[in-house]
Amino acid sequence: MNEDPILHLEDLQIALHANGEEYPAIDGVNLQIGRGEVVGLVGESGCGKSLCALSVAGLLDGPLRVSGGRILFDGGDIARLPNRSMRMLRGSRIAMIFQEPMTALNPLMTIGDQIGEMFVLHRGMSRRAARRQAIEALEQVQVPAASRRVDDYPHQLSGGMRQRVMIAIALACDPDLLIADEATTALDVTIQAEIVELILDLCRARGTAVLMISHDLGLVARVCNRVAVMYAGHLVEEQPADRIFSSPQHPYTQGLVASLPRLGRRLVVGQAKLADIPGVVPQILDYGKGCRFAPRCAQAMDRCSTTAPGTTLLASGGKKRCYLNG
């Protein structure tokens, strides 16, 4: 990365407060995203990917809090920004798209009003000008008959169209960073590909950096420049996307790669994966002192269960968190 990153998670710690104790939900995550770069964050459900995303967007709540480290956005630490400042940043410079647009959209407002609100709130436009911009934004996300659909309510649209509306809202103010959190998971496979392509095309044209969060390593490795892998609140590996596929270094990443269907091998929906990682991701309250992957790792050694490995740099320019040499 030649210039200052747009986002730098620096030793990020997020604590879960429960039973009068503080538990390390996210523990020492370091990740940089360059301006205009597309970075993937992968791992099974419960690994902490969404917690990292929510902390960047200032949306952590309840028992979860940033307890250490910094979230540097365009050089400034936003980890403890007051709510009002964070609200202004969110939507204008940092935007998010979630898995289920129906829960993010207001069912009682037309989609035109919801897109237009971004222009009124962040650009100070009049309602009339905001409506014109909303139609243009709908055209950019390829909603057909945009000048008519602008008055539709969310329930009148298909899942794919609703996700296009979410993209229009997210990109309305040309943010510097878009966080797409499982943005296509709920959609049909063919629509998924269209939506991913649309997000990437629009972000490339605007120079918007993308943090693409997904449990689908295949999708992420195809479209991202770099891929970071999370397991149980730790970032366990980060490499250029092609290296993650060709030379995964951490046993967890190796398991994820081995689980991907390959050409010439049939994956029957509903049956077990072709190769699988035994066991499940531990709960935050059950994290031990050693490597959190040890109970599932076929290569675990005695010290793995008692002492957590540090991060080592790889020749590829990436890094991993494991005792094994490779």
> Which residues of this protein are in contact with ligand SF4, per CB under 6 A?
250-251, 291, 293-294, 297, 299-301, 304, 309, 322-324
CB of 92 to ligand SF4, least distance (A): 40
* Dist CA 106 CA 150 (whole Å): 14
CB of 303 to ligand SF4, least distance (A): 8
* Buried b / exposed e along 220-251 (16+ C-beta atoms within 10 A): bbebbbbbbbbbbbbbbbbbbbebbbebbbbb
Q: For ligand SF4, give the closer residue by CB, 177 or 294.
A: 294
Number of helices (H), then strands (E), in the chain: 11, 12
- Least Å distance, CB 304 to ligand SF4, is 3
**Residue with tokens 């066991």, as numbered in its chain:** 279
In the complex, what is the shortest distance from the CB of residue 275 to ligand SF4, in angstroms, rounded to a whole number? Answer: 17
Toward ligand SF4, which CB reaches closer, 89 or 294? 294
d(CA 118, CA 262): 43
| Least distance to ligand SF4, CB of residue 288, Å | 11
In sequence order, the β-bridge partners of residue 33 are 7
C-beta of 226 vs 250, nearer to ligand SF4 = 250
> Is 23 or 293 the residue whose CB approaches ligand SF4 more closely?
293
CB 179 within 8 Å of CB 94: yes
| Min separation Cβ 156 and ligand SF4, Å | 49
Tokens of 318: 């990436």
Q: CA-to-CA distance for 19 and 236, rounded, in angstroms?
A: 28
Closest distance between ligand SF4 and the C-beta of residue 321, in Å?
7
Question: What DSSP state is assigned to residue 127?
Answer: H
The nearer residue to ligand SF4, 125 or 258, going by C-beta atoms, is 258
Q: Which is nearer to ligand SF4, 185 or 312 (CB)?
A: 312
Comparing CB distances to ligand SF4, the nearer of 3 and 302 is 302
In a 10 Å sphere around its CB, with 0-12 CB exposed, 13-18 middle and 19+ buried, how is residue 185 labelled? middle
Comparison of 228 and 297: residue with beta carbon closer to ligand SF4: 297
One-character DSSP codes across 307-320: S----EE-TTS-EE
| Smallest separation (angstroms) from ligand SF4 to the CB of 123 | 48
Long-range CB contacts for residues 313-317, cutoff 8 Å, separation at least 24: 314/239, 314/249, 316/239, 316/240, 316/243, 316/247, 317/239, 317/240
319-320 and 312-313 beta bridge pairing: antiparallel
